[in-house]
């Protein structure tokens, strides 16, 4: 089976390739000749995932899946949420986003947060949605050099390391993306 993973994020592709069974051939956007930026104009994580999957299916005629992920912080009423990748502005860096979030939380003792990943799968002319959530807290300082995005300031519940400090194998067992991907894989095994 061939599936397109509708992302230009090399880090996501690397993480997902480690999770997908070998009998599924994962194609990147470049593999199908898609070099444009996929639209993400919806006001929800679910909407963005579906929009990206629909874009690839309608223009390139491939079965595909797309994900969108957001970091939701309780004290900020779910922010940055759908705006996680551009929290500090349109052309900001991941470090800019972390700095803005740490600044917003500097005087807030309760730092509960969750990473939420939603996957939209377009296959056999139908759409299926899968959601993975990893609860944790936002740390006060950045720790670790692995991972990407907010990983240096997110510590999952029950773990004494941030995502950026932990081994990729552990992250791939407990992360929001791993949980959503595992649901996707279970579904694909029934198709």
By annotation, the residues acting in catalysis are 68
Check: CB of residue 51 under 8 Å from CB of residue 40.
yes
Closest CA to 11 of 145, 187, 128, 132: 145
CA 54 remoteness from chain centre: 17
Helix, strand, coil percent content, the chain, rounded in steps of 5: 35, 25, 40
3-state secondary structure of 133: strand
Helix (H) / strand (E) containing 53: helix 45-60
């Amino acid at each position: 089976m061939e599936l397109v993973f509708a992302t230009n994020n090399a880090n996501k592709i690397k993480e997902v390739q480690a999770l997908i069974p070998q009998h599924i051939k994962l194609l990147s956007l470049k593999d199908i000749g898609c070099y444009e930026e996929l639209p993400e104009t919806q006001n929800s994580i679910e909407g963005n995932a579906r929009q990206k999957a629909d874009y690839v299916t309608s223009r390139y005629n491939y079965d595909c899946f797309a994900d969108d992920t957001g970091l939701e912080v309780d004290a900020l009423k779910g922010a940055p949420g759908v705006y996680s990748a551009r929290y500090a502005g349109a052309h900001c860096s991941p470090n800019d986003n972390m700095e803005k979030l740490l600044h917003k939380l500097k005087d807030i003792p309760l730092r509960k947060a969750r990473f939420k990943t939603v996957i939209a799968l377009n296959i056999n002319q139908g759409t299926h949605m899968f959601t993975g959530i990893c609860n944790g807290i936002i740390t006060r300082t950045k720790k670790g050099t692995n991972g990407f995005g907010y990983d240096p300031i997110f510590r999952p519940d029950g773990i004494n390391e941030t995502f950026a400090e932990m081994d990729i194998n552990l992250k791939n067992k407990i992360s929001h993306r791993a949980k959503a991907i595992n649901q996707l894989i279970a579904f694909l095994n029934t198709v």
